[in-house]
């Protein structure tokens, strides 16, 4: 009788241990993080490819770790902001070229993995930062020192609408690229397809930088810029629908 009881207890303990092992979140390696989160214009096979700041901030917001998400803007940690950015990262996770190991979102957004991503992002920025040089005798002092500007007001930065607009821009960009690749396009659409990826990356990088310093005036200027860019993309997209090939 005692043997049966001991055996039963041992079986339960083994089952609990197996469940714990299955539920343990795997920490992603630097290679996996770089493949998954590299910027649009870099290669997934480049081990030193820069990480997309917006994607890293998205994982910080989803990490559930106050140390990682505490410095983000309210817009980035809002439900709307988190939902919008997760849609983008989920698309990358479904891309076999970015995610050959079939990493899950829960693994990528685990605090240990996010800390590695934050460090990789900071390391790359440090590596590409320009070296400071001593000014020559002919160098003029920066204009900001000669005519200092009054400090700009700061306040909460809300990028909810801008994030949604950039995601819509990304969708229109991919549509334009497909049209250009098939030859079913006009010259303006073909030109737009050649640079839209880079423009979207610049907008996302600028958005991430402004989220860090919380400058409300710069945030508004960038949001207006995003809306103007989106209006232009819609105009170009309407040319795709109106082209003779599509009629």
Q: Say whether both 112 and 159 belong to one domain.
A: no
Same domain, 31 and 121: yes
pTM for the whole structure: 0.50
Q: Which domain holds residue 214?
A: 155-246
65 and 113 in a single domain? The answer is yes
Minimal CA–CA distance to 113: which of 68, 78, 83, 49? 68
User: Alpha-carbon distance 219 to 216, whole Å?
Assistant: 5
CA separation, residue 131 to residues 49, 126, 127 (Å): 20, 10, 10
Is residue 115 located within the same domain as residue 189?
Answer: no
C-alpha angle with apex 212: 206 to 215, nearest 5 degrees? 80
pLDDT tens for the chain, 247 residues: list them: 455 554 444 444 444 444 433 444 678 999 999 999 999 888 878 888 899 999 999 999 999 998 898 888 888 889 988 999 999 999 999 999 999 999 999 999 999 999 999 998 888 777 665 544 445 545 555 554 455 554 444 455 677 888 888 888 888 888 888 888 887 667 777 787 788 888 888 888 887 777 776 667 777 887 888 888 888 888 877 775 555 555 4
How many domains does the chain contain in total?
2
In a domain, 116, yes or no: yes
* Residue written as token pair 């010259």: 187
Number of residues assigned to the chain: 247
Classify residue 64 as left (phi > 0), alpha (psi -120 to 50) or beta. left
Q: For residue 90, tell me if it sits in a domain.
A: yes
Looking at the domain assignment, is residue 136 inside a domain?
A: no
The count of other CB atoms within 10 Å of the CB of residue 188 is 14
Q: Which of 190, 198, 191 is nearest to 169 (CA)?
A: 198
Nearest to 236 by CA among 162, 167, 177: 177
Kindly state whether residues 121 and 184 are assigned to the same domain: no
Distance CA 246, CA 183 (A): 12
Q: Are residues 114 and 197 in the same domain?
A: no
């Amino acid at each position: 009788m005692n043997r049966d009881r001991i055996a039963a207890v041992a079986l339960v303990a083994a089952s609990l241990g197996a469940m714990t092992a299955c539920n343990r979140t795997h920490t992603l390696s630097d290679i996996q993080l770089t493949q998954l989160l590299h910027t649009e214009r870099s290669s997934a096979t480049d081990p030193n490819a820069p990480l997309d700041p917006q994607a890293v901030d998205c994982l910080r917001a989803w990490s559930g770790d106050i140390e990682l998400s505490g410095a983000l803007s309210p817009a980035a940690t809002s439900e709307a902001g988190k939902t919008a950015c997760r849609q983008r990262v989920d698309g990358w996770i479904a891309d076999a070229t970015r995610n050959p190991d079939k990493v899950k979102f829960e693994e990528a957004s685990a605090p240990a993995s996010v800390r590695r991503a934050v460090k990789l992002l900071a390391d790359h920025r440090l590596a590409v930062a320009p070296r400071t040089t001593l000014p020559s005798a002919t160098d003029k002092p920066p204009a900001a020192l000669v005519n200092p500007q009054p400090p700009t007001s700061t306040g909460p930065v809300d990028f909810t609408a801008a994030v949604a607009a950039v995601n819509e821009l990304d969708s229109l960009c991919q549509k334009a690229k497909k049209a250009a690749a098939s030859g079913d396009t006009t010259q303006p659409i073909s030109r737009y397809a050649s640079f839209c990826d880079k423009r979207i990356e610049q907008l996302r990088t600028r958005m991430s930088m402004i989220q860090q310093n919380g400058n409300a005036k710069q945030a508004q200027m960038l949001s207006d810029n995003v809306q103007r860019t989106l209006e232009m993309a819609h105009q170009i997209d309407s040319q795709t629908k109106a082209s003779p090939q599509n009629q």
